[in-house]
Chain A
Amino acid sequence: MENAMLIDSGSSGAHAKIGITLTINGEKREIEVAPWTTLLDLLRERLDLTGTKKGCDHGQCGACTVLVNGTRINSCLALAVMKDGAEITTVEGLAGMAQRQGTNTLHPIQEAFVEHDAFQCGYCTPGQLCSSVGLMNEGHAKTREEIREAMSGNICRCGAYTNIIDAIEDVMQGAAR
């Protein structure tokens, strides 16, 4: 897709900005963004989608995990302009995803996290949730050990790990039924 170079006349100065189109949680949005702005900062700072968290800004903690075309990524390691044309799902969109699939008001993984107490402070939770959905989309992890390994990019300092695995297993078994 061709990107038009635009000059932003806003108060933050004459930075060259690039126009991109993102479908975020089902809503198509045309956005002008500086080439160095990460997808994470775009979501949090510009679009007020603060559900996606910044824990390290280095791809080391997973708090910023979102789904890009169904695949989980660290949004702190992706420049927004690299994702032009993509479908982005953040934690704010997970429930909507469930609603579009005709299920409950929350996504099953969200319900399972609440039921299994798979979080405490809640700050890593949006990343854990998106990562869980991404993991299930991948379809590689089957056993508890494999899920643990495949969820190890998402740090939970409160230590809710075993409950997180319980929640994911619960949803995977529900889906298999």
Chain B
Amino acid sequence: MSSSDAQAFARAAASIAWNRREFIRSSVGLSSTAAMLGFAPLRAAAFSAKQKVVVVTFGGGARDEETFAPDGQENIPNLLQTLLPQSTFYAQVVNRGILGHYVATASLATGVYETFDNFAVVPPHDPTIFEYYRKELHRPATDAWVVAPSNGFNRIGESDHRSYGEGLGAGVILPKHLLQAAMPTSSGMNLAHLLRDNYEDPYYTPALAGNEVQLRQLDEILKLSVTDFTRHALTLSSPDELSVYVVRQLMRQLAPSLLWVTLHDMDIAHSGAYSLYVEGIRRSDRLCAELWSSIQADPEYSGRTTMFILPDFGRDSDSDSGGNGFQHHRTGDALSRTTWMMVLGPGVRQGAMIDKPVDSLDLVPTLGSLLRFSTPLAQGKRLEEVL
């Protein structure tokens, strides 16, 4: 990007953030960065030796038009009215990497813009937050987990970096794959539609071996019988609901300190059906609030858990002729790259809004500082406002 292009992008990103801030301020009235600067961080006083972190990413992103803008606020009542007032809100989080969900989520988890093929089932090349965490703090494998929507995310738990990698990463649970393993093949159910891997290439699902591994995860980790799991799945309306169910089960059984879940229902936007995209946003909004309630209700988590909520990136704007509005994230325009992040938990200033631009890569060093381990190969900067 040339210097003039970079300046134009920065102006566009700042404008998006400004609008987002104004939308929110008009609806819930948060304090600004300026109000925050005079305060000392509260983290030192609040830090608990048993600090836990839950990261929720939206794979697909939701635009301001459907969320924080006046017409979109009806879709996110929980984020706006319940979670936002308790959080520090970053209004301008810029993703400068590849806008594909697996590679972008991997970049969020490594703190480095990964450049592998988004649709290849490969591990990240740089160490993940889970490897830094486990290696430096000598944490067991049961203490870091990823719950992800699709087979393509199978390798996100640990990198192929030679100084980290095998045996140091997070456990990965793919709830839909779990469901496939649990459902009897003789049931006559056509799972192909449900099990499709992603909405960007809806006809492609990488094959994963090892249903027996999945069933062992059910039994040994989640402490669920196949019957109970399938019975519960039959009460849920979407894969994201299944993911949150698995997260809660993990919290109950293992209480991991580092837990990462990606929600993908809203990415059905790629099908071009606007109503289904909005439905996905509303569901994610509800699930975030339910997850926060679960955290507050669980003695292992209550009072010691910081939750980060962020889309991996945005979606194309209506005004870019290279795209088709909400449907995709292919233009690389400012709206598709500029998103937001909500941080809430003990010691995090409530109702504060950060206007300055931050980078998607800043998540990893921030998590490292919060849980007190180093992230030497990550490229972002610590977000001091929530430390």
Asked if A and B bind, the verdict is: no
